[in-house]
Structure 1
């Protein structure tokens, strides 16, 4: 018997050549079988997430076979026509159109595991999809259609996942939460998603972990670290569990950067999933994770060349001091699923997330801003010949943050008369934040201590002595104890019907979210928002397999703690939820080329945004102004072509155009920090025809440059320059020892392995200098501020061994 938690259903009517219903047709899969009734109706339960061949047999009609591959809890309709004359010539392959109708992208976990990337997580593949951009390879953060890193929902087994609060550099992040060794399903939506998903403005990444059916294990080891996992089931099949352990050392990567340093960042986590099938109707599961990131950094020197060919400039920096950061997170979730009958399912989900973060640093940087000898014939070509600016910068921080987030949720799903599906849910969240910020910066330029521009005291030294205060250029001090209580709920309705001979998919739903902010020395504030959403999809009765989609709705983002905290560290409890209205029109086209399957997905979108909480972006740290003082918009076009460009492999090419601007205090539109106009992404798999054991995996991304930001206290309207274009190619060559394993004789030692491979990866193959942000340096003589690009990793090689049992 198939576990009800991992099943799908196939239903429909069996007809004869005259479109009359056929009674007594046997529909079978292995030992499972059903018989059609007088109206030709049948419904059969099959295993999910695997290919299943259903056989339709009748005493007087020719047999029909159809292959299905459905997700868990999917219901698909198939109405075969049985003939008394001719047998079926070709196998019919059926997949559910639910994901296509919803605009959801599905990704095979195997693609994630094989993809060469520095981060090694699912996000590296997400960044190659249409509508998704990122300009940092060391971070799991990504931007979707003009949104920032905080606007993306991530679920694992229907439990919302959170990111650390204090991380301000991608190289501090370490491991993504999701362990690719444990993944079964990956679904992604770049906008216009349904009401059942939470309250964010940009995207949803929905991940489901496997439910083990037998013993399996995996091992991966490389110069960047390694991972190991194991899974199994009990003898009575009621219990199953899997555990993954990961360790990562990014020394190989960060030591390739411009800044010479003594640096060894290490990251480790343990993740486990336990499932218990109490009965055919009731299942329980537990998901737990413990992670520790240690970031010890002692910079030594740095030289960055910039400017133009006619006026080359170099920044030389000599450092003293060090940085010690640590992020520890603990996560646990319990999920109970009760299926009272075939039409009614109820779920209870409870989770707790605890993060303890510290950010301590004292770093003194003495800099020289000089002119570079550009005379090719000169003996000093490339050297700094004249220093036009000398200064120093001392940065200090003692930041500590503890956060405890508790969730409790009840959800239900009901099939009404086999025609409609109704989903609903109610969720309570308690967020307890304890945050201490002590952070200051002192800038000295040519012997003069620079006061912040907010202190307006005349300084005409050396003619008259300066009598004003000496204060840090930046000084943030705050102690915040904040509680946020949230109650959210949703209800949505789905149906599949017909319009003439075409299939019509309809979805309508609404979310509501109430939150109250309270705490020490904070005035309490309570707000409520409502978010109606709708989708309509049409699959015409054409020879071409196409689906057309339109979705729209309100997407509110009630503020999280980071959005409540303004740049001076104070918490503003009355910050409103940012509002976005999505309009998405899309087309999904399945076709065959070179006798192989391909898919072309294209979408045009427009988003209008109100009560926008503007922010500055420094590497991956977002600092909000917490004043809802802007409006914004985003529009663009995305497309992706994927399929078997090489037989037996999946590859894709994606393209996107985006324009997003904001208007602060009615000053006019300027580019948002995520205004990345053009994006090209390629994920390509290949093998050598003469040596099929040798596999190639290529990950290529090109993005036009992002806005380069602005100095502290500056008017962003006066700093609208852009960083250089982001160009990156990562490639991996692997030799598979288990290729054509089925042809090896029984007892061969390689037969024990599902996969055994050894390979070499080259990151940033063409050694492009990609910048993530600017460092702003003052020239006391010219009164200019120069944006010095912060370049990321150069070309790096890695060796990786992978084994799976």
Structure 2
């Protein structure tokens, strides 16, 4: 131990290096991306903000060269002292003869790993009812989101709880009690602070955590100069500020957001009095202590308020020959609140060019309240479809009447602490080793008081799980009076976790062909304890994973990739809680054997770059923790009673369909089924068979300031779920297909490609004004069914809960 510490500080003291950094600008004072900065054999490139940073030898004369295909090169000669931070801001002049853009498809690390990279500019500009990263994700193959009010998404047959999300390598969490998309509000990620977005739909490496489906890896930017941005629309707005100290050691980016979903929810069928509001503030503070040490703090405060007072609802369904409607009159209200506090401290120590250590700690605290008392009195009947009738569209014959009283007093307080150490070591130009150790403590206090009373045709329906005889109206009911649903539990739960990983990266060749190999393993140990929890056992999972990629030496730029392994998902708190709200401490980790075969083909069409990525995958899942989905609330059975499988094919073609803009088309096929207690296979709640996605950008050649953005998704229908206490094997009907098109029109006054000599535009780097049309074709999409029970006809009706209709929005975007 002492020897390791001695060697650590010895390398620190003997290092004779300095650092040069700065921002490279053009004649118009705009930052230049992809400028190559070289000193001898070492080099780097500028990022989108024109920033570069390069470690160079100290106490010797060096020559620094700045080069770019579209600009004249610049060279300086200097001598720097040990550990000196030298700032240099060169201005490159445009070449007399311009060279067209060069696209390097090469062998980038992300391409080898099978990671999809999403441009933050696309994320900010593409329209959507819930604009942001998740809005763009749903256009990718294998990703589904059938609720525009929600930022939740599923990947390749997995549910919303099976996705990892990282911001600056720090895992982030969603609220626990969210029950419908209307309550969610803002995604954690502030898109105006984002620098890089990577997404993997499966087969990811061991360095990522223990989930079954996907990884979303987001990096916030470190500002290199002062700036500000503003977004404002009819649904809210955001302000973002960038700040940098004079010596470039300190930087800060802070974003403030506010959102009001009234415009969307008031377009639904239910007449309501409410204004759901959501606000948050995020900040990233970075400090470069030296050429080797850097520190950063990421903080977030978020508050969601949801005050809901429904009035009336009429849902028309059935067929043209037999139109049916559900008419509901409401009394009561719902008051929900979610307060989230998040803070993370990260330190990076790069003690030489080939070795790096990272230290990360984070704390997540959420206080959530879900309180409601809502009485719904309904009529279910036939609709007058005679156009000339005075009662056209009204219910003229009632098949059933009844009422439903729902009550909840649900409160949750959760505190999650993480501490982690990561290491990266480059042994030589071919071999790298990465490792990490993490400790997590989850302390959750949860009270559930939730019941539902149903009255149909004057008869109160008791809970079907009770053992009683009921042949009303022929004989009086003498059994116990009990709510149809009744969940009452108080849980004080503590979960301690230790996890770690190690992986080996190697690149080699056989003949003129190149290949890359990644092999790794994860381990995860956890134990559940707490008040009134007895017998929580210590459990452990082991997850080996491997990736192999090969690039043949062919004329066509192709890369083949195969990946697979064992992916375990140790249960989070929600997965431990059964239908009665009681924590089951010995729920096992769900286990998936995942196999992915991929092809990545880069080519040129119309002299412009394109890429076609296709993947076939298979998952065999054991110890499945089955669940039901009500809107976006997942309720688990917590018994590991099933096995499942998922297989499918995904393809995505992206490139410059219009010169200078990126667009893509995606297709996905999926089949996923589960077998509960050897009763046979039935569709899982996430069985989304076919998926088509289109993200398209265009502009008018004669009016380049005018741009058009299209976000189109078509998904075949999901299983429609089943009533409470019902057997899912008896309810395998599907919802209608999900069809949605969001379109945005934007007039760009100024941006990186469109300059202006107008004096009033001089303070702005970007300025645009746009019109957005959500659900342009006004499709009636549904997310779940409301199940209405009628005693008289002894029938249950699945009434679709329709989502938002066509909505118009105006949006202003500005950057200084």
Q: Structure 1 length as normaliser, TM-score?
A: 0.90
Aligned partner of 1:566 in structure 2 is: 578
Conservation of the 8 A alpha-carbon contact between 2:36 and 2:67: no
2:728 counterpart of 1:728 = no
2:373 counterpart of 1:367 = no
Shift of 1:33: 2.3
Conservation of the 8 A alpha-carbon contact between 1:2 and 1:47: no
Conservation of the 8 A alpha-carbon contact between 1:741 and 1:751: no
For 1:415-434, what aligned pairs fall within 5 Å after superposition? Answer: 415-434=426-445
> In structure 2, how many angstroms separate the alpha carbons of the residues matched to 1:336 and 1:515?
26
Moved more, 118-127 or 505-514: 118-127
> In structure 1, how many angstroms separate the alpha carbons of the residues matched to 2:672 and 2:103?
41
For 1:277-426, what aligned pairs fall within 5 Å after superposition? Answer: 277-426=288-437
Question: Do the aligned partners of residues 448 and 89 (structure 1) sit closer, same or farther apart at CA in structure 2, a change above 3 Å counting?
Answer: closer
Conservation of the 8 A alpha-carbon contact between 2:687 and 2:718: yes
> In structure 1, how many angstroms separate the alpha carbons of the residues matched to 2:601 and 2:384?
57
Shift of 1:388: 1.1
Aligned partner of 1:60 in structure 2 is: none
The partner residue of 1:172 within 175, 180, 183 is 183
Aligned partner of 1:621 in structure 2 is: 633
Shift of 1:381: 3.1
Question: Do the aligned partners of residues 309 and 539 (structure 1) sit closer, same or farther apart at CA in structure 2, a change above 3 Å counting?
Answer: same
Conservation of the 8 A alpha-carbon contact between 1:683 and 1:700: yes
Could you list the per-position Cα deviations for residues 72-124 of structure 1 after superposition, in whole angstroms to 9, with x for gaps in the alignment? Answer: xxxxxxxxxxxxxxxx9998654552111111000110000001011122100
The partner residue of 1:656 within 668, 679, 683 is 668
Shift of 1:377: 4.7
> In structure 2, how many angstroms separate the alpha carbons of the residues matched to 1:253 and 1:44?
50
The partner residue of 1:105 within 116, 120, 138 is 116
Question: Do the aligned partners of residues 66 and 193 (structure 1) sit closer, same or farther apart at CA in structure 2, a change above 3 Å counting?
Answer: farther
Give SS of 2:325's match. Answer: strand
Conservation of the 8 A alpha-carbon contact between 2:36 and 2:44: no
The partner residue of 1:257 within 268, 289, 306 is 268
2:540 counterpart of 1:541 = no
Aligned partner of 2:514 in structure 1 is: 503
Moved more, 379-388 or 183-192: 379-388
> In structure 2, how many angstroms separate the alpha carbons of the residues matched to 1:252 and 1:426?
46
Shift of 1:691: 1.1
Give SS of 2:640's match. Answer: coil
Shift of 1:168: 0.5
Could you list the per-position Cα deviations for residues 208-250 of structure 1 after superposition, in whole angstroms to 9, with x for gaps in the alignment? Answer: 0001100111001110000000102101111000100000000
Shift of 1:740: 7.5
Question: Do the aligned partners of residues 144 and 459 (structure 1) sit closer, same or farther apart at CA in structure 2, a change above 3 Å counting?
Answer: same
The partner residue of 2:601 within 560, 585, 589 is 589
Question: Do the aligned partners of residues 50 and 289 (structure 1) sit closer, same or farther apart at CA in structure 2, a change above 3 Å counting?
Answer: closer
Aligned partner of 1:718 in structure 2 is: 730
> In structure 2, how many angstroms separate the alpha carbons of the residues matched to 1:450 and 1:6?
72
Conservation of the 8 A alpha-carbon contact between 2:714 and 2:737: yes
Conservation of the 8 A alpha-carbon contact between 2:21 and 2:51: no
Aligned partner of 1:699 in structure 2 is: 711
Could you list the per-position Cα deviations for residues 515-550 of structure 1 after superposition, in whole angstroms to 9, with x for gaps in the alignment? Answer: 010001102221000000000001110111111000
Could you list the per-position Cα deviations for residues 19-73 of structure 1 after superposition, in whole angstroms to 9, with x for gaps in the alignment? Answer: xxxxxxxxx9777420xxxxxxx443444567899xxxxxxxxx998799xxxxx
Conservation of the 8 A alpha-carbon contact between 2:415 and 2:442: yes
Conservation of the 8 A alpha-carbon contact between 1:6 and 1:47: no
Aligned partner of 1:522 in structure 2 is: 533
> In structure 1, how many angstroms separate the alpha carbons of the residues matched to 2:595 and 2:617?
6
> In structure 1, how many angstroms separate the alpha carbons of the residues matched to 2:335 and 2:791?
32
Shift of 1:386: 0.6
Conservation of the 8 A alpha-carbon contact between 2:707 and 2:745: yes
Give SS of 2:111's match. Answer: helix
> In structure 1, how many angstroms separate the alpha carbons of the residues matched to 2:303 and 2:126?
25
* Divergent runs of 4+, >6 A: 1-7, 28-31, 50-53, 63-68, 88-92
Conservation of the 8 A alpha-carbon contact between 1:29 and 1:52: no
Aligned partner of 1:81 in structure 2 is: none
2:153 counterpart of 1:142 = yes
Aligned partner of 1:44 in structure 2 is: 43
The partner residue of 2:692 within 680, 689, 703 is 680
How many residue pairs align between the two structures? Answer: 750
Unaligned runs of 5+ in 1: 8-27, 35-41, 54-62, 69-87
Unaligned runs of 5+ in 2: 1-16, 24-33, 53-65, 72-97
The partner residue of 2:174 within 163, 170, 174 is 163
Q: Structure 2 length as normaliser, TM-score?
A: 0.89
> In structure 2, how many angstroms separate the alpha carbons of the residues matched to 1:464 and 1:759?
66
Shift of 1:462: 4.2
> In structure 2, how many angstroms separate the alpha carbons of the residues matched to 1:761 and 1:337?
42
Conservation of the 8 A alpha-carbon contact between 1:51 and 1:67: no
The partner residue of 2:613 within 601, 605, 609 is 601
Shift of 1:411: 0.2
Could you list the per-position Cα deviations for residues 738-797 of structure 1 after superposition, in whole angstroms to 9, with x for gaps in the alignment? Answer: 15877544x833132121011110000000000000000012222110000000100000
2:200 counterpart of 1:189 = yes
> In structure 1, how many angstroms separate the alpha carbons of the residues matched to 2:559 and 2:239?
41
Conservation of the 8 A alpha-carbon contact between 1:67 and 1:93: no
> In structure 1, how many angstroms separate the alpha carbons of the residues matched to 2:217 and 2:391?
57
CA RMSD of aligned residues (A): 2.3
Aligned partner of 2:803 in structure 1 is: 792
> In structure 2, how many angstroms separate the alpha carbons of the residues matched to 1:149 and 1:32?
45
Question: Do the aligned partners of residues 396 and 656 (structure 1) sit closer, same or farther apart at CA in structure 2, a change above 3 Å counting?
Answer: same
Conservation of the 8 A alpha-carbon contact between 1:345 and 1:413: yes
Conservation of the 8 A alpha-carbon contact between 1:354 and 1:403: yes
> In structure 1, how many angstroms separate the alpha carbons of the residues matched to 2:600 and 2:143?
18
Shift of 1:383: 2.1
